[in-house]
Amino acid sequence: MYVRAHKRLNVWRESVKLSIDIYKITERFPKTEIYGLTSQMRRAAVSVPANIAEGAARRSSKEFIAYLYISGGSLSELDTLIEIACQLEYLKAEERTLLGRQIDSIGSKLGGLITHLASRSKR
C-alpha cells in the first residue's frame, strides 16, 4: 500500500492533532466570533499540516523548504491568535499551556526538518 510522503512525518501528524484540538476548543467561543477569531484560528491551524503536505509533494527540497516556512508562519499566526483568545478569556490556562507545548514541539520539528532538507540539498 502506498503511503503519501507527508503522512510519514511526525510533524504533519502533530499538526493535524493541533488543528483538531483548535476546532474542538473554538467550538466554545462566543457565536459572535464565528467569522472572527474562531475562523482565523481554524484557518491558521489547518494551514500548518496543509502546507507540510503540499511541500512534501513537491519535486525539490528547495520547494519543500519554502512550504515548511509557510507552515511556520501559520504556526506563529496561530500562537498570536491564541494569545488574543487568552486575553479575551476565551481559553482556560491549561488549554493555553497545552496548545503552547504543541506549538513549540511542531515549531522545533519544522526547524529540524528544514535543517535536514537544506543540508541534504547541499550534497
CA dist 87 → 22, 83, 93 (Å): 17, 6, 11
Chain-centre distance of CA 71, in angstroms? 6
pTM of the model: 0.93
Domains of the chain: 5-121 (1.20.1440.60)
- One pLDDT digit (tens) per residue for the chain, 123 residues: 555 888 899 999 999 999 999 999 999 999 999 999 999 999 999 999 999 999 999 889 999 999 999 999 999 999 999 999 999 999 999 999 999 999 999 999 999 999 999 998 765
Give the three cell numbers for residue 21: 484540538
What would the DSSP string read from start to end of 64-96? HHHHHHHHHHHHHHHHHHHHHHHHTT-S-HHHH
